[in-house]
């Protein structure tokens, strides 16, 4: 039976959440690295966009082997980004603007420099310190099993024991510098209870939880036969006990705090998401199914149908997104005109997009604007990655010596990695570093970034920035994010998907030929193509429009 949640309205039912890759958002101290002070100084930009919340990518102390996803201390702020006092000021100023604050929680692994792991290395085999991680003896000189790292290469690294001899191996499903915790150990459970309480007590409104599906591994650490998704390392039943524990912890703060747990869950079958969204587990999980679809009406509709079916079955509002810090930007993905086949992959990044081929940026811009209207018309919350409101393309031509993503280095450059969507944002076209800061940015910005700068777009009413603001404002005015059915319509054109939300009709034309909307839909009140939409009844190729009947 479908679950109808018996709870008051929560902010995440229909929120627009702005994802902040802090390192690349704004630099307030001139060291070339974005920081919390930069975020505070640019909160007005986020509020003007119409967002309801911000999500901070990891801002904890970290050696930056994976730019913050290797955490050395879960109870502090990276000195490059500020202090706990700076963080407290950010929370206060965000709340004063009506913005909730979400943090990134990285519970699958920590940094090799975390005190627990350095103690484990020093203590030796069989010690209580090593029991907090997945240490095992090898098979002779070979790793304990055949598992592969998401970032390329084996998922095991052998340590040198305190006596100088080759010793045990430790598991790292990601980089060598990111040892995996053993979530069957009670001290790990208790430690993260404390981490959640520490930040909730500082006013944080929730967490985006990294790699939800990976915390618990197959108890016997059996080999996985063949390539593809390793079901022995992902999506094990034991993860659900952890999320029930965290749900109860968050609920203990009372309904007035309205705390959110939203999961990053990559599973081969979207139906598996149901298990993470039971009433006493996660409040939401990202709907990546839509993100990985091609620009095709039938594929997009099928992904929306699968997600809305999940929403009906679980009662958990959808968390829609088309971009984040791990995938190529929407403009570039949708602008591929001659796709090249991706290389074979045997890890979880097979689910992520690594677009290859020629890119038509103008085409990608049109499609990305249309896709935003599709996203904003759906029930649930919408997560927007920084720079998407500017229509930024991916930076594809970063020199090899500038790239820092371990994906690039561990695959010998076969995979470009994620640096191209993490290049610092352009704020002012004629300023040094395009207004990002006074120092040299940690990743180089291309010359063409200037035409996407915020000040340039502020001066142009037809810009992607103004379009994004208008669309988000219209979404709120029309109540499109609120729970409710998606009623599919037959537009009579296979290149067009159309659905009704209340009185409003959203039509997305993925073809190249203009589509004439039925008169019964009414007039176009928002169009991604502006004046080129063909009038009140037209939807140009590679565009979208919202229609309302006359009152």
Which helix (H) or strand (E) segment is 332 a member of?
helix 330-334
Indicate which residue of 264, 289, 405, 419 is catalytic: 264
Candidates 1, 48, 39, 45; CA nearest to 20 is 39
Bridge pairing between strands 487-489 and 336-339: unpaired
Distance CA 118, CA 122 (A): 6
Q: Does 27 qualify as catalytic in the annotation?
A: no
Cα radius of gyration rounded to whole Å, the chain: 23
Q: Would you say 417 and 18 are in contact if contact means Cβ atoms under 8 Å apart? A: no
Phi, psi dihedral angles at 123 (to 5 degrees): -80, -30
Where do we find the tokens 């939800």?
212
Spatial strand order of the sheet with 135-136 comes to: 135-136, 166-171, 156-160
Candidates 14, 15, 41, 11; CA nearest to 26 is 41
Local structure of 2: helix, strand or coil = coil
**Residue 434 region, left (φ>0) first, then alpha (ψ -120 to 50), else beta?**
left
Indicate which residue of 210, 258, 281, 289 is catalytic: 210
Q: Does 430 qualify as catalytic in the annotation?
A: no
Local structure of 171: helix, strand or coil = strand
Where do we find the tokens 């197959």?
218
- The sign of the CA dihedral 93, 95, 97, 102 is positive
Active-site residue numbers? 210, 264
């Amino acid at each position: 039976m479908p679950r109808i949640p018996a709870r008051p309205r929560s902010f995440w039912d229909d929120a627009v959440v702005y994802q902040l890759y802090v390192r690349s958002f704004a630099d307030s101290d001139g060291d070339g690295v974005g920081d919390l002070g930069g975020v505070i100084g640019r909160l007005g930009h986020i509020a003007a966009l119409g967002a309801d919340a911000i999500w901070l990518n990891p801002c904890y102390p970290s050696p930056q082997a994976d730019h913050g996803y290797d955490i050395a201390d879960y109870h502090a702020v990276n000195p490059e980004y500020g202090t706990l006092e700076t963080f407290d000021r950010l929370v206060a100023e965000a709340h004063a603007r009506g913005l909730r604050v979400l943090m990134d929680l990285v519970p699958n692994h920590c940094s090799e420099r975390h005190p627990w792991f350095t103690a484990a290395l020093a203590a030796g085999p069989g010690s209580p310190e090593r029991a907090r991680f997945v240490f095992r003896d090898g098979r002779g000189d070979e790793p304990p099993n055949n598992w592969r790292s998401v970032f390329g290469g084996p998922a095991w690294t052998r340590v040198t024991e305190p006596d100088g001899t080759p010793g045990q191996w430790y598991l790292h499903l990601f980089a060598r510098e990111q040892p995996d915790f053993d979530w069957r150990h009670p001290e790990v459970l208790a430690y993260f209870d404390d981490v959640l309480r520490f930040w909730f007590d500082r006013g944080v409104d929730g967490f985006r939880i990294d790699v939800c599906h990976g915390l618990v591994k197959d108890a016997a650490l059996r080999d996985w036969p063949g390539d593809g998704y390793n079901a022995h390392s992902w999506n094990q039943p034991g993860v659900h006990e952890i999320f029930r524990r965290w749900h109860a912890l968050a609920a203990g703060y009372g309904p007035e705090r309205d705390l959110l747990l939203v999961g990053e869950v990559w599973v081969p079958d979207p139906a598996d998401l149901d298990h993470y969204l039971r009433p006493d587990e996660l409040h939401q999980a990202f709907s990546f199914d839509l993100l990985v679809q091609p620009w095709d009406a039938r594929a997009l509709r099928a992904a929306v149908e699968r997600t809305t079916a999940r929403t009906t079955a679980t009662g958990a509002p959808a968390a829609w997104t088309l971009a984040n810090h791990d995938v190529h930007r929407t403009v570039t993905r949708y602008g591929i005109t001659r796709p090249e086949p991706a290389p074979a992959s045997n890890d979880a990044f097979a689910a992520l997009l690594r677009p290859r081929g020629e890119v038509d940026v103008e085409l990608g811009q049109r499609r990305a604007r249309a896709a935003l209207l599709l996203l904003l018309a759906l029930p649930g919350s919408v997560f927007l990655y920084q720079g998407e409101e500017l229509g930024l393309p991916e930076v594809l031509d970063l020199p090899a010596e500038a790239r820092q993503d371990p994906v690039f280095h561990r695959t010998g450059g076969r995979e470009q990695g994620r640096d191209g969507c993490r290049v610092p944002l352009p704020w002012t076209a004629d300023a040094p570093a395009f207004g990002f800061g006074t120092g040299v940015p940690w990743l180089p910005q291309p010359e063409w970034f200037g035409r996407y700068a915020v000040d340039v777009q502020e001066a142009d009413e037809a810009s992607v920035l103004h379009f994004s603001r208008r669309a988000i404002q219209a979404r709120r005015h029309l109540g499109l994010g609120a729970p409710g059915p998606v009623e599919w319509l037959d537009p009579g054109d296979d290149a067009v998907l159309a659905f009704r939300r209340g009185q409003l009709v959203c039509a997305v034309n993925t073809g190249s030929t203009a589509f004439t909307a039925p008169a019964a839909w009414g007039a176009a009140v928002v169009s991604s193509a502006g004046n080129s939409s063909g009038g009140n009844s037209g939807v140009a190729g590679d565009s979208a429009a919202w229609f309302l009947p006359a009152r």
